[in-house]
Amino acid sequence: MLKLEPRAEPSRFWSLASPLLALVFTVVIGVLLFLALGKDPVRGLQVFFWEPIRSPYALGELMVKATPLLIIALGLAVCFRSNVWNIGAEGQFIMGAILAGGVALLADKDSSRWIVVAVMLAGVLGGMAWAGLTAVLRDRFNANEILVSLMLVYVADMVLSYLVYGPWKDPAGYNFPQTKTFEAVTQIPRLMQGSRVSIGLVIGLAGAAALWVFLFRTRAGFAQQVGGLAPAAARYAGFSSRKALWIALLTSGGAAGLAGALEVAGPIGQLTPYVPAGYGFAAIIVAFVGRLHPVGMVFSAILMSMFYIGGELAQSRLGLPKSLTGVFQGLLLFTLLACDTLMAYRIRWTGIARLKGQG
């Protein structure tokens, strides 16, 4: 009785405003969720949307969470605009962290401060190598990149577990599955004293600017997007679909690997089984909420980091499960998909017309 009918021309206003509308719906559903759990909804919203910004220290922690989300999302935006569906950024994040951690473990107290560059470069190469496996299988055997990249996440997780439970385990770590703490010379430089915000934030913002230039001001960026939107037109124009595939996956893999390096050589300071924090999956939501636009992804990364911090605070202050973070992330994604569907289609009731025809 209900039919989705394509609109003649989707509203440009709502194409930009639908993420905000999705956020409003997420908040409304969140209020109902707090009420169902017997919690004060005002206090719940305060924990999610006010506590993460109420002080300079809280803002710093917000930026710490937003940095890996932004960097990974920027790489994923290149993939998604190219119609390459890399769902395995989490695995590339893990492999970047592993290779960066391996370089950091080679350092000693006499190592040069410049080893930080090697640590970050190792992270980039680790992520690119892991994404390269997906590219090879898609390019040579036409394997589905969604399934391949996703399955490689679990392989990367097993590699990390093997290393921290086995050869890289700290012998003085009281049998905990973790490496030794990295030397201070490998620590990612921080922007200011008393804060955990590192130069990763600057790298992320610079990456957003570079992506904007690449996508909207270069021929290579134009070719990358045309290949995703209209493969036949791209071939006619002489653009290589294979090249677009490799650029997309290596870029997104390198970005995710860099985020992993910044994380383990920054806030964490060692390799543990808990390095995978779901950033690679959450960054998919960041990319789409930000409309695959560099500026939009900056703001959506901040919003998603508020959900991370809010979930942690809700666990400690309201006695709610930590999984509430994933609930809010999922709500935001599904409400955005609903808003986008209604932006492109209108709901038409066909039952009345049929009854009139029978009469």
pLDDT of residue 226: 86
Burial per residue of 127-158, b for 16 or more beta-carbon CB atoms within 10 angstroms, e otherwise: bbbbbbbbbebbbeeeeebeebbbebbeebbe
Phi, psi at 216, each rounded to 5°: -115, 0
Residue 278 to residues 6, 12, 167, 189: CA-CA distances in angstroms? 35, 32, 25, 24
pLDDT digits (tens, 9 = 90+) for 188-247: 999 988 889 999 999 999 999 999 999 999 999 998 988 777 777 777 778 888 899 999
pLDDT given for residue 107 in this prediction: 94
* Residues in the chain, pLDDT under 50: 353, 355, 357, 359
Q: How many residues does the chain have?
A: 359
Give residue 351's pLDDT: 64
Q: Is 1 helix (H, G, I), strand (E, B) or coil?
A: coil
Nearby residues of 136 by Cβ (< 8 Å), 6 or more positions away: none
Please tell me the predicted confidence (pLDDT) of residue 354. Answer: 52
Residue 8, pLDDT score: 80
Q: What is the pLDDT of residue 358?
A: 52
CA 308 to chain centre: 12
Check: pTM over 0.75? Answer yes or no. yes
| Residues 315/322, Cβ–Cβ less than 8 Å | yes
Please report the pLDDT score of residue 258 as a whole number: 98
pLDDT at 137: 97
pLDDT at 16: 79
Q: What is the structure's pLDDT at 193?
A: 85
Radius of gyration of the chain (CA): 22
- Give per-residue pLDDT as tens, 10-34: 778 888 788 999 999 999 999 999 9
Which ranges of the chain does DSSP label H, i.e. alpha helix? 12-36, 41-49, 56-81, 89-105, 115-141, 145-165, 200-217, 219-229, 231-236, 241-263, 279-289, 294-317, 324-344, 351-358
Task: Single out the residue of 125, 85, 71 nearest to residue 259, CA to CA.
Answer: 71
Distance CA 225, CA 81 (A): 6
Distance CA 127, CA 133 (A): 10
In the block, which residue shows the tokens 């390269």?
132
Give the Cα separation of 115 and 107 in Å (integer): 8
Class of 59-319 in CATH: mainly alpha
The DSSP string of 231-280 is HHHHHHTT--HHHHHHHHHHHHHHHHHHHHHHHIIIII-S--TT---SHH
- For every residue of 331-359, which 3-state class applies, written as one string? HHHHHHHHHHHHHHEEEEECHHHHHHHHC
